[in-house]
Structure 1
Amino acid sequence: MRNMKNFTFLALIFILVAGIITVKSVNPHDADIEDNEFAEFEEFEDGDILEDGDRAEFPEDVEVQQQKEGEAEGEDEDESTVETEDDDDEFDHFTDEDEFIGFDKSQSSSSGKSKDLPDLKMAKVPGHLRTNWDSFYMEILMLAGLAVYFLNFIHGKNKNHKLAQAWLQSNRELLESNFSIVGDDGSTKEAQAGTLMKESENVYALWCSGRTALEGMLVELRLLKRQDLISTMTNMFKPASDQQLVTIDLDKNVMDKFVFAIATKKSCSKIHKEMIDLSQFTEKKSLDKYSDLPNSYQLLSEVGEASNALLDKKVCQVLTKFEGLVEFMHFSDQFCGAKAQDESQTTKMPEVKPVMIFCFNVPGKGKSKPADMEHLKPLLQLVFYCLEKVSRLQLGKEARNKTEKNRKKAEEQFLKAAHSQLQEAAQLRREEKRRQEKERMMNEEDPDKTRKWEERESRREMKRKQPKMKMMKI
């Protein structure tokens, strides 16, 4: 009995070992087998595909799976048919010759589907524009230009203001000694003093009054447009000077009848052409008998007696010493301004008044400093000296008769020109009236009226062409 039990125990062990060996042969990876009907699919992740070697190890399972799939497909075909695209059609756009340059479709198809498709290289996209400062060079240049223009405006404005204040401080004492009111702007009823009027960023004016023999004196400082960047750059290539313009309005009957001017040769041609009084009454004279005057000046005179009296030794010395600073001096009893651009509108005599005009250049040739304004003080003294000379000057009888004839002649020429302009205007009005009447008669429906009008016009035309005869009494 005991031997029988041992044999039974050995048989059980043998059967157990045989079962274990059988299980090992079925599961070569020594994976634990759980009691789960889906356990055989847990070893594979989504997208894993069994290779050919794996299929060979499970031939029976593969056949069973294919048989089940065939039965399932047979059942689905009875109900409906599902069309699926081939896997190769999904990647057909990679073999399009229009999409990819240099791709040979025929070569790709001949090589077979097993070959890999060519590698696609993506173009490098540049960074965003905001990260590249080179793309904003135009904006940077514009901002830099505006900054330079703004800084130049401030600098030029301040410099012109300093020059104007320096001129006022250097000449204020001299002006106050000759006028009772210096710097009245006219803004209030009561007279003010010391006000330098600012007409623009480069033009300053000072009005002085309260002196015998004149209504007033206006001093204008016409400085360069330093606040304008374009003008500043132009002055670099074509230098110009700041100017001081002095205009004195004389009382009537204070100045004798004559017109006189002395100017640099460059300015002489300009003012002789533009000013009405200079172009009508003066002629260019030689400076041979004025040996003290430099050759850079030109004389415009109506009568020689006035020129000899004004260009005395003291005036000639000042002109020689400050050659280039005195631009011109213009004295006239017939001053009426510059010529109008449209002379056809002048149908009446312009108003004339006696004036004295001085134009001085500031030293420095555009690079003036506040200290240079002190050099204009002797020229301002020349203004008052010439004022005294003109107010005391009395022409002789012969010179006065000559000036009277010149003024009558100028008045006759003006009236004649005005009369001819009035005749031309009247002729234009008559022609316009005749043209309108002709258009009206052409539109007239009555032929008798048209015929009578034509006969009347023909008789009028013949009468106009006939020579005029004067009857003489014997």
Structure 2
Amino acid sequence: MRITFLLIGFLCGIQFVYGFEDTTLEDDDFAEFEQFDAEDDTPVNDYTEEVPDVLSQKVKPPPKEFEAVVEIEDEIILEDEDNEFEHFQDPEEFEGFQETTPRTMEQPKITISKVPITARPRWDAYWLEGILCCLLASYALAYAIGRAKNTSIAVNFLKLHKPLLEENFTLVGETGAEVVSGADERGWRREAEHCFTMWCSGRSCCEGMLLTLKLIKRQDLVHVLLGVVRPNPDTLQIRIELGKDDMDPFVFCIAQKKIAAKLAREMHDLSVYCGERRAGERLGVPGALSVVAECAEPGAALLDARVCAALQLHHRHLLYLHLSDKYAGPKHLEETASTKPPETERVMLVSLALGPDGGGDELRPLLQLVFYILDKLKRFKLSKEALAKCEKRRQKVAEAWLRGAHAARQEQAALRREEKRKQEKERILAEDDPEKQRRWELKEQKRQQKRKTPKMKQLKVKAL
């Protein structure tokens, strides 16, 4: 009887549960969660006003049947895949956020300003490039004109003075690819755009002559502009190699006053063997020239009436004339003491300033004067007294140089010994042996004391 009442109560409870069960749900394990998802899709009344019209048109009210809800969700998911920024329009994504500005679906207006299109470019924007192009063009034009001008001066010199050179030398000029000449094959060798050289040989009283034509750097626009401020003339430098029997031992120079002072200060032979500078009036030459000589005999013998007359007419074109048997070039610096004596040679150096036309008729008398002095130099001989004085002066200079070289060698040896002693001291101090260090210090003290003690000579006297 009791069992019967329990069965009836169990059946009534089951019937009560089925009465409250939703018939729309299927018999699925996840049906309960799908019901909650369907309820979440329904819009909340509190935020319905903030949803845009576009969303209100797209979202539909939840259907009563479960299958219709599933189809709508699929459509919304597809829209989410197409528009990745649609979550910004979902009001539930920004809960509690109050917008300050109302949302509108109007597109922002973009104003495009009308820029006038110019048919031609504005050249005033390229003024810097224009200036640079003009400078480059002017530099190239100056290079072409200056190179042609220098070449024409060299060719004109050959036309005017090559016959004179051929009268005095057997071989005049050089051959090669870089030779500048007129109708003949031999001519100048172009060392640079403004420098030309020519070698002449085959003459008595000399071993050869080197002509160097140094012109203004007309191919360089910068030097042309600097030449307007400080003009320099075109020059012809003559270097004649003399033999041992072609010249007695003496040093002589005649030059313009400023150039003579500079040469006496910078040239090794003039600063060592020559004394004071003498004015040109004492020897019969123009006052614009100065004479620097080792002795008086060369000046009196070489500057005869013919030479003085030529110098009176063309002294403006003579820069210097230098004769030396001990020519060694410019003086060496005192800081760079050499252990070898400077190499000397017997030369005759002449520097001539060319005229504005590049060396015309005014240069021919000076070239003839050079050959005249060269012939006279071969015949000139110093007296016995002057020759003895010159030899004695050279001997003193050689002895002084030997003493200086010996002192320089001693100084270098002392520096080497000091460096060696310093290295030995560092080596002793690096060792951990105090007894060895003490012995080295005692040895060093004895050496210093012996060095300070004055040396005295001992004289031995034999007993009678």
Alignment partner of 1:153 is 2:143: yes
Structure 2: how far apart are the matches of 1:290 and 1:209? 36
Between the aligned partners of 2:188 and 2:252, the Cα distance in structure 1 is 30
- Counterpart mapping for 1:269-288 below 5 A: 269-287=261-279
Superposed counterparts of 1:116-127, under 5 Å: none
Distance 2:59 2:349 in 1: 122
Three-state SS of the structure 1 residue aligned to 2:382 is coil
Q: Provide the secondary structure at the position in 1 that maps to 2:360.
A: helix
Counterpart residue number, 1:132: 122
Distance apart, 1:185 and its partner CA: 5.2
Matched, 1:356 2:343: no
Counterpart Cα distance in 2 of 1:235 and 1:289: 32
Provide the aligned C-alpha RMSD in A: 3.0
SS of residue in 2 equivalent to 1:458: helix
Q: Say which SS state the counterpart of residue 282 (structure 2) adopts.
A: coil
Q: In 2, Cα distance between the equivalents of 1:74 and 1:238?
A: 94
Counterpart amino acid of residue 228 in structure 2: M
Shift, 1:87, TM fit: 7.0
Q: Match for 2:390 among 372, 397, 403?
A: 403
Give 1:129 shift. 13
Question: Quick one: distance in 1 between partners of 2:200 and 2:294?
Answer: 30
Q: Indicate if the aligned counterparts of 1:262 and 1:268 stay in contact, CA closer than 8 A.
A: yes
2:352 aligned counterpart, secondary structure = strand
Q: 1:148–1:73: structure 2 CA closer, same or farther, 3 Å change rule?
A: closer
2:161 to 171, 178, 202: 171
Aligned to 1:231: 223
Return the offset for 1:318.
Answer: 1.4
Measure, in 1, the Cα distance between the counterparts of 2:113 and 2:416: 80
Alignment of 1:149-228 (within 5 A): 149-184=139-174, 194-228=186-220
Cα deviations by residue, 1:146-177 (Å, 9 ceiling, x for unpaired): 11111100100010000011111111111111
Normalization by structure 1: what TM-score?
0.72
CA distance in 2, matches of 1:75, 1:445: 97
CA pair 75-380 structure 1, distance change in 2 beyond 3 A: closer
Would you say 1:428 and 2:415 are equivalent positions? yes
1:76 matches 2:66: no
Distance 1:243-1:351 versus aligned 2 partners, 3 A rule: same
> Match for 2:429 among 405, 427, 442?
442
**Equivalents in 2 of 1:288, 1:261: separation in Å?**
11
- Alignment counterpart, residue 131 of structure 2, candidates 141, 149, 165: 141
State the TM-score, normalized to the length of structure 2.
Answer: 0.73
Match of 1:221, SS state, is strand
Q: 2:406: which partner in 1? A: 419
Q: Distance in 1 between matches of 2:134 and 2:141?
A: 11
3-state secondary structure, aligned to 1:324: helix
**Deviation (angstroms), 1:128:** 8.9
Question: Distance in 1 between the 2:304 and 2:59 partners?
Answer: 137
**In the alignment, is the contact (CA less than 8 A) between 1:263 and 1:298 conserved in 2?**
yes
TM-aligned CA distance change 1:278 to 1:186, over 3 Å: farther
Change (3 A) 1:128 1:401: farther
Q: 1:332 to 1:423 in 2, by over 3 A?
A: same
Q: What residue is the counterpart of 1:53 in the other structure?
A: none
Cα separation, 2, equivalents of 1:145 and 1:326: 38
Matched, 1:392 2:385: no
C-alpha deviations, 1:405-440, integer Å up to 9, x for none?
110111112111111111111111011001100000
Percentage identity across paired residues of the two chains: 38
1:281-309 deviations in Å (ceiling 9; x for gaps): 11233336536422211110110011111
- Letter of the 1:164 counterpart: A
Q: CA deviation at 1:144?
A: 1.3
Distance of 2:116 and 2:293 partners within structure 1:
79
In structure 1, the gaps of 5 or more residues are: 1-68, 95-119
SS of residue matched to 1:309 = helix
1:303 maps to 295
SS at match of 1:431: helix
Match of 2:446 in 1: 459
SS at match of 2:207: strand
Query: How many pairs does the alignment contain?
Result: 370
SS of residue paired to 1:278: helix
Q: d(CA) in 1 for partners of 2:459 and 2:119?
A: 101
